[in-house]
Amino acid sequence: MSPGRCNFCNRPGTLYCNDCATYDANYNIIDAHWYCSGLCKAADEPKHLGECRAHLLMPEELFRRAEQAGEAAQSLFYAFVQNTWAYDMSTIRIVRDQDDEVVAVEVTAGAGVHAGPGAESTCGRHGGGWLVNFPDAAFDIYDQEAKRAVLADQNSIWAFVSMHVAVEALFKDLVNDVGKDIKEVVHYVPHDTRRLVEHKGRFGLARAERENVVYPDYDDQGDLKGVYLITLKDGTQIALDLAGAQYGLSHTTILPWSTYLNRHVGKSIKYRAPFRSHYTKHADKMSNYRCITPLTVIMEQNRHFNKFVANTKEDWNLDLKDLPTMSPQDFDDILHHLVEMAHVTLLHLPRGLDDGGPPEEAFDLRHPKVVASLPRRRAPSSSTTDVSSLVSLPLDLNFMSPFSWYSLRRLIQMPASEVKYHEKKTARKLLSMRCAYKLPGDWRVVFLQDTLPSVNVPRWCVSENPGWKRR
């Protein structure tokens, strides 16, 4: 934008008021109050002072808007996690102290702890058990804080991947530059920090590992946690903490950054990354996966979720950047409707797959077990070999029960037009194994080379290779 006319004498302007000027993403001036000289600026100051303040948000008002933006982001995050759940919890026990305060939420691994077929599923038939119903009914109206702790559990770094579109839409009018003013911070938590959620094995003997946790918030050096660091237009720095409910019931989504540091940061901050860094890294990682996994379906859900967030203005005449400016009553009403629509959107794909509908994209979301049950095609030659259950054999997500060693031999003999070389190479290696077994409720086949499975594995789950010889 070229300089405008002086607001005091109407001559060409060379100076402008920094306080109320507006800029685009490249810091080019969009609109400003211009003056031709310092004298005109000083002469016009008594009049412009009131106008300028009318253009500015007071710090208290800007922080209030950030709180509403954070509340909306928090609600959308819970909706996304709940509708991409891949962990079957057979029981939930909320532990309270003598004052009836929640001190722990115990979850016990169920049959579908690995999200395999057999778990209660919202994507049960064509989805093959990838997505599991979150046990919403286990939490009554007094247990909502406990529910939020379960949804947030070990998901703070994952929030960077799933929520970047929503965070940008909600905060873009509260910061000067989204790319520069929003950072992804990963830090250590204080040594005495304890998560509310406790995982137990089915028999209470061991911790149950959750397969739906993409980036557990811990490493070898100690507990880690991810949080957004946001610099508002007035320079105030705040923390947007989407997964803090896992650490206690006094969780606050938006806090001044200094307050957050004092309360929740342990010995140090591990790193600060630019906005969207975790999403970009994760997308690159996913692009190298050839087999369909539970994470493939969750990322497909994330794509639908991001499209939903980006199109709210076009579809419902609701621009998310307007949510922070609404009155509290209007905000509550609109947010409630927004979250309901998010649930509907996130359930669309699983329900469509359950109803037998085809995947909407080029790749096949169906579980290999479902693919194997489809009408079988024949090889293009005169051979009558049935190849539909052999092509692209997903050895880590296996549908064969009982396991067929003969299938591996047939796969090796098939032409290169049907089976890739690296799959034949893997099949040859597996033929050197002594046996394979698959536990109930788990789609994965475990191969053993020198031993047989433990006595805890039922014999009907075991397939021993008749051609195996000790090397």
Give the total number of structural domains in the chain. 3
471 within some domain: no
* Other CB atoms within 10 Å distance of the CB of residue 368: 21
pLDDT above 70 covers what percent of the chain?
75
Closest CA to 238 of 5, 63, 107: 63
362 within some domain: no
Say whether both 229 and 337 belong to one domain: yes
pLDDT above 90 covers what percent of the chain?
33
Strand (E) or helix (H) holding 273 = strand 269-274
Say whether both 334 and 384 belong to one domain: no
For the entire predicted model, the pTM comes to: 0.68
294 within some domain: yes
Say whether both 317 and 395 belong to one domain: no
* Alpha-carbon gap, residue 166 to 160, rounded angstroms: 10
DSSP helix/strand/coil, 17 = coil
Say whether both 28 and 68 belong to one domain: no
86 within some domain: yes
**Contact of 276 with 108, CB cutoff 8 Å:** no
Say whether both 123 and 267 belong to one domain: yes
Quickly list H helices, 311-435: 312-316, 328-354, 368-373, 405-413, 421-430
* Other CB atoms within 10 Å distance of the CB of residue 16: 18
Structure tokens that stand for 453 in this block: 């499975």
pLDDT, residue 129, reads: 62
Say whether both 136 and 38 belong to one domain: no
Question: Within the chain, what is the greatest distance between any pair of CA atoms?
Answer: 98
Strand (E) or helix (H) holding 92 = strand 89-96
Structure tokens that stand for 273 in this block: 């990354």
366 within some domain: no
Quickly list H helices, 355-400: 368-373
Say whether both 28 and 116 belong to one domain: no
* Alpha-carbon gap, residue 416 to 290, rounded angstroms: 18
Say whether both 243 and 275 belong to one domain: yes
Say whether both 430 and 299 belong to one domain: no
pLDDT, residue 51, reads: 64
Strand (E) or helix (H) holding 38 = helix 38-55
436 within some domain: yes
CA angle 413, 417, 421 (to 5 degrees): 60
Structure tokens that stand for 394 in this block: 């997903």
Please give the residue range of the domain that contains residue 438.
Answer: 375-464
Say whether both 337 and 446 belong to one domain: no
* Other CB atoms within 10 Å distance of the CB of residue 457: 15
DSSP helix/strand/coil, 386 = strand
CA angle 452, 455, 457 (to 5 degrees): 80
Say whether both 85 and 221 belong to one domain: yes
Residues of the chain with pLDDT under 50: 53-56, 125-126, 358, 361-371, 376-400
* Alpha-carbon gap, residue 310 to 326, rounded angstroms: 19
Say whether both 332 and 311 belong to one domain: yes
φ/ψ of residue 230, rounded to 5 = -120, 130
333 within some domain: yes
326 within some domain: yes
pLDDT, residue 397, reads: 37
